[in-house]
Structure formats: structure tokens, C-alpha cells
Structure 1
Amino acid sequence: MDDKQLTAQSAMERLQPFIGKWKTEGTIQAPNGTSVKLDAIDTYEWLPGEFFLIHHVDGRMGEDEVKAIEMIGFHEEDGMYVTTSYDNRGEVANYKAQLHEREWTIIGSTERFRGSFGEDGRTLAGVWELAQEGAEWKKWMNILLTKY
């Protein structure tokens, strides 16, 4: 089925593999060439009605604490998932996302992610990239989520 033909309900059902608690580990590339460790717990749960997915983030990026909550829904007109994330630094980020088979892609104005679920659905590995407006994309983070 083409993503543009998905209803919000059928699109959200495809996100069932996210439900649960994940251990997230990775390496972040700083602009000065050094790297720091990413360590977090990501939890996904349905909002009652299962039209929206709630994503909680509780972790560290190097020495910095990271706490966030994200709401994920589906926009039927363009056939894409839409997300809004709120974090402990007061920042709000909006993204569009797609799920094709095991490939999960997130697209923002200055951040993007491309990753894939393992065969058993218990891992999600990928790369985040950053770009300033008009600049080329540069690798930012390698991450691996492993479901508990």
C-alpha cells in the first residue's frame, strides 16, 4: 500500500514495533572533532485511542542531561508521520518521518535520521546528521536502540 493511501489508523498500527522501553547508546561527533557518549532510555507508548504515539527520552549526551517528550501522529494528505518534540532546554522541534518496511527516516529542517530495524525488530540502528541552512549534511550521531 502506498503511504499516501494509508489512513491515520492503519499508519499508526505500523508503529507497533516501537512500543516498549529501549536502551539507546551511541557516539556524538562534536564540531571540534571530539566525540562524546550518548546513553538514554527511550520509551514509546500509545496515547489512548492509538492515534498518537508518545515518546519519552531520558538520557545523557556527554555531560548534558537530555529529557524530552515527543508526540507522533500521521498526516493523511502527504502520507507522512509528523512529530513534535519538547525538551528540558525549552526547545521545540518538528519533524516528518516515513516507515518503509524496516527503514525509519526522520526529516527536520537541520536534523535528519536514517535507520533500520533488525530482523527480529528488537534493534534500531542508524545515523543522525546535522546541517545549517543551505549547508551540506554532516554526520552527528551513530545510535543503536535495543528493546528491553
Structure 2
Amino acid sequence: MSAEPLTPNPDLRSLDRLVGTWQVFGDATGEVRYEWLQGGFFLMQHFDLMHDGRPIRGIEIIGHLYPFGGEPSADIHTRVYSYTDGMTLDYVYELEGDTLTIWAGVRDSPSFYRGTFSEDGRTVTGGWQWPGGGYTADMTRRD
């Protein structure tokens, strides 16, 4: 371990544009809220959604993996904890320009969310895609 105090990787700050409360509409509906956790190493998402008549609720912790004795990961990883079915799901976040991609499992997975921020940052238009399926999940900023 480094003797120097660690600071959050600056690439996490690219996700600042997610902070706040968003109304989700399309094939999935509901609300998501993103907030920084103390220290700035992790972003937390709270989600309360309905998709195909099924509730989807839980939290997601977003940040770099940093195993004991190791080095922080290059990618921004996440873990979802679902309140509705007990599932834990892993993702990789990537924000390039105005395009947010959330890869299921690992980067370049065939299953992913891709959304594009509007010029004013108040909407994200996109959806989930996977082999043989997908659904829309657009967002509008509420605050």
C-alpha cells in the first residue's frame, strides 16, 4: 500500500453530471437518484423502477475496485444490490463525451445501457440492449 494518502481518481468526476434525481420513462419508469459518498471515492445510485410490471429497487455503488494490497482498477466498476430479489449485479461505467455506457459484467459486453446526454444535461436518451432484446429507459433531471 502507498504511504501517500489516496485521492479519488479524477475520472470519477466525469460522473458528476449524474448527481441529482432523475425521472425515468419509456419501457422502464420510476426514479433514480445519484449522490457522492463521503470522501468522493464512490457514487451511489438509489433506484425505484417498474419494468414490465415488475418492481426493480435497490442501490448501486460506483467507483474503482481497490483490493487490499493491490492497485485501483483502470475501469469504473459498480455493484448493484437489488432489494426486490436479492440479486447482486456488476457493471462497468464509461462516459465518453455525452455518451454514457454501462456494460453488464465487463467492458465490451454484448449487454449494456447506452444513453446520450442532451446539450443542457437535463435529459438522457437511451436504453438497455442485449442479444435478442432490450428496452428504453430515458431520464429527465428533476433537480
Same fold by TM (over 0.5)?
A: yes
Report the alpha carbon displacement of residue 60 of structure 1 after superposing the two structures with TM.
1.3
Off by >2 Å, runs of 4+ in structure 1: 74-79
Alignment coverage as a number of residue pairs:
126
Contact 1:127 1:139 survives alignment (8 Å): no
Please provide the CA RMSD for this pair.
Answer: 1.8
Contact 1:44 1:53 survives alignment (8 Å): yes
Report the alpha carbon displacement of residue 79 of structure 1 after superposing the two structures with TM.
2.9
Higher percent of residues as strand: 1
Q: Which residue of 2 aligns with 1:35?
A: none
The share of aligned pairs that are identical, in percent, is: 30
Mapped to 1, the partners of 2:75 and 2:101 lie a distance apart of 10
Report the alpha carbon displacement of residue 44 of structure 1 after superposing the two structures with TM.
0.3
Tell me the amino acid that sits aligned with residue 98 of structure 1: E
Tell me the amino acid that sits aligned with residue 66 of structure 1: I
* Structure 1, gaps ≥5 residues long: 1-6, 28-37, 131-136
**Do residues 66 (structure 1) and 56 (structure 2) align?**
yes
TM-score under structure 2 length normalisation:
0.80
**Do residues 102 (structure 1) and 98 (structure 2) align?**
yes
Report the alpha carbon displacement of residue 78 of structure 1 after superposing the two structures with TM.
5.3
2:80 to 85, 88, 104: 85
* Structure 2, gaps ≥5 residues long: 1-6, 66-70
Mapped to 2, the partners of 1:74 and 1:120 lie a distance apart of 28
Measured against aligned partners, the alpha-carbon deviations of 1:75-108 in whole angstroms (never above 9, x if no partner) come to: 5865321010011201110011211111111111
TM-score under structure 1 length normalisation:
0.77
Contact 2:64 2:73 survives alignment (8 Å): no
